[in-house]
Structure 1
Amino acid sequence: MSTGNHSTVTEFILAGITEQPELQLPLFFLFLGIYVLTVVGNLGMITLIGLSSHLHTPMYYFLGNLSFIDLCHSTVITPKMLVNFVMEKNIIFYPECMTQLYFFSVFAIAECHMLAAMAYDRYVAICSPLLYNIIMSYRLCICLTAGVYIFGIIGSTIHTGFILKLILCKTNVINHYFCDLFPLLELSCSSVYINELLILFLSAFNILIPTLTILVSYIFIIVSIFHIRSTEGRSKAFSTCSSHISAVAMFFGSAAFMYLQPSSVSSMDQGKVSSVFYTTVVPMLNPLIYSLRNKDVKSALVKILDKIPYS
């Protein structure tokens, strides 16, 4: 489309979560607290896994990467969102907006596939315990992790590349608290048909494929658990998997609600609520879920804390 009759937007105003003035300050402190917990929790998990030699296993290798992804995912979104609560207008320039969209997409897609890789790791651990160390070799872990980030980079590059081709000129107000795909499509004066097809196709691939992988893995896991004769063995197997299931349900549930449906103005306000879960709440809860429900992590933390007074 010719740009002759249109004035291309060079900066945007992020509408934020709410326009009610009385809620701005309470929401600022709420999300500031969430972000602080996210940073402390995920950095703490990464540090703990790095310092504790008995946590140098495939399971905690993937968990460390999940913590890194969650930390980056939240950092791309939350600081700019906090600005929205204290500024009269939260302005974001076009290059900054596209950069935020790119890195948000990288880490969101990477988290989908990392959760699938973690499910495969649990499947091997419970269904083939004698072959676990052979199957989940260092090389395979590196390959799976590399694949996770490659999927994220490729998917994000496609989304961002096609957004860059659009002429954004309808308005400079983004009906969201960050630069996401659907809110940006609403600003386009050119056709978004290809963009919407790509969002549905890539979202189906990056959400449904990992979900099916996780589902199949846990079907085999549950069957194997019921074949375990000892009650203690069953309990240990269930506790190992319950944390992962909780993280999967929260992340994929909120992401699917936002991206596996056609874009519309009416759904966008509802989408903000689901976006809060997978951009801010889930990254905060993941380290809490995996630490509070994991004896190995709690034991490693106690050992590290016991060494502090003597150092």
Structure 2
Amino acid sequence: MSQTERERVKTEFRCGYVALGGVPNVGKSTLLNRLVAEKLAITSPKPQTTRHRLLGIVHLPRAQLLFMDMPGIIDPGSLLNESLVNTALGTLKDADVVVWLVTPQETAAESRVILPHIRLLAKPVVIAINKIDTIPKLEILPLIEFYHSLLPEAPVTPVAALTGDGLPHLLTEIINLLPKAPPLYPDDQLTDQTERFLAAEFIRERVFHHTAEEIPYAAAVQLEEFDEKDRPRLIRLRAVIYVERDSQKAIMIGRKGARLKAIGQEARIDLEILLGCKVYLELWVKVWKNWRKDPRALKELGYLIS
């Protein structure tokens, strides 16, 4: 590349924050992981798996895209859900571009939950219809027309986060709306979150996969020890899984400790990939009664920011 070309790229470089917004379970975290080409966000088939804002950085020759995964926007029914919705709405406000993620299965009622917030933002929006791999192709065009009627100024693009279909076009639409600005992060950085945060999240992901009904939502993970004095040979982690009742604790542990053992074994595999070395993981289950309604608990567990 000539000096002139380098200068032109420098002056035309685009960089900005991109919020991945939508109702729960539309694939925001799956999309983030696919775009970054690394597992950063935890995923599960259950709604409201995501509880924190998570930054994923995509580095391209002419742009740096700072994708922000966030909790799904719902009608809050508890102090925890209220905190999650506040996190989501704050993320939308901080973004330069909003990607409104929807699915073919999304109902009109679900769309109405988030649409008023998006209309109030007065920011560029791209509508991404995710999970198009789950419907016949003939059904895609009517969906595009429907969402175009809701936000005529927003480009609508079909994608499949699970397979990567449509993502190059989605990136192009987003980049066209980003401000011209130099990159904010070095080329080798993929997130602004710490390894401690990601480790606790990976453990919580396995809780979601191994428990059902109310239990995964009543569970929170707190990392009490992150001992890396023997790194890169070994890292020792100790984490507590908090639940709200003794009956939930018994289910979380399982018969003769089988469920907790499975959670730990699967989490350790992901943690060793994340940390790049062997991991010794120790898990405990404790009861913190009604922590989802307790402001002190929510603050200590990182869900309320004072």
Q: Same fold (TM over 0.5)?
A: no
- Which has a greater percent of helix? 1
Using the size of structure 2 for normalisation, the TM-score is 0.23
- Which has a greater percent of strand? 2
